[in-house]
A = this chain, B = another copy of it.
Amino acid sequence: MITKKAEYAIIILTELASNPPGTTVTSKEIAFRRSIPVNLVVQLLAVLKEAGWTEGTRGPAGGIRLITDPEKINLREVVEAADGPMGITRCLFSSAPCRDQKHCSLRGIWSRAQQEMLKVLEEVNIKDLVEAAALEA
């Protein structure tokens, strides 16, 4: 399951990427503009920083800015940064296959299904989203 946090992370990156490069935005502003609880924004900014996509400046007049080309951040990466590694089934989380190998022709099928899903997410990046939003406006 892709959680709301993952969606929020994507939205935050999109917000940052929709300003001129180098612009800093405060977490409060992000929260306000995108209607995300401030505390969640703060939590997620830690994740984005950890991933190396953003940088923060403290103190008055501080804020967050994107330090990665938004075209180089795809949705799979963001989702996995926010939610941890993806698994459409619990069995895909454990590296070991089920005890009962015999009956587990399923693992391969789950894995294929998941890969097809991830492929779609990999094909979309943050820049795409910014552009899509621009078209709507």
Q: Are A109 and B89 in contact (CB under 8 A)?
A: no
Report the separation of the CA atoms of residues A137 and B101 in the bound assembly, to the nearest whole angstrom.
11
Chain B CB within 8 A of A81 CB: no
In the complex, chain B residues whose CB is within 8 Å of the CB of A114: 117
Q: How far is the CB of A1 from chain B (nearest CB, A)?
A: 5
Q: How far is the CB of A25 from chain B (nearest CB, A)?
A: 15
Q: Which one, B7, B34, B75, B89, contacts A7 given CB within 8 A? A: B89
Q: Which of A48-56, A64-72, A128-136 contacts B (4 or more CB under 8 A)?
A: A128-136
Q: Which one, B11, B117, B124, B129, contacts A117 given CB within 8 A? A: B117
Q: Are A109 and B124 in contact (CB under 8 A)?
A: yes
Given contacts A1-B88, A89-B1, A133-B103, contact A113 B109 (CB under 8 A): no
Q: Which one, B14, B105, B121, B137, contacts A109 given CB within 8 A? A: B121
In the complex, chain B residues whose CB is within 8 Å of the CB of A136: 102, 105
Chain B CB within 8 A of A38 CB: no
Interface string of A87-128 (1 = CB under 8 A from B): 111110000000010110110011011101111110010000
Binding site for B on A (CB under 8 A): 1-4, 7, 10-11, 14, 34-35, 75, 87-91, 100, 102-103, 105-106, 109-110, 112-114, 116-121, 124, 129, 132-133, 136-137
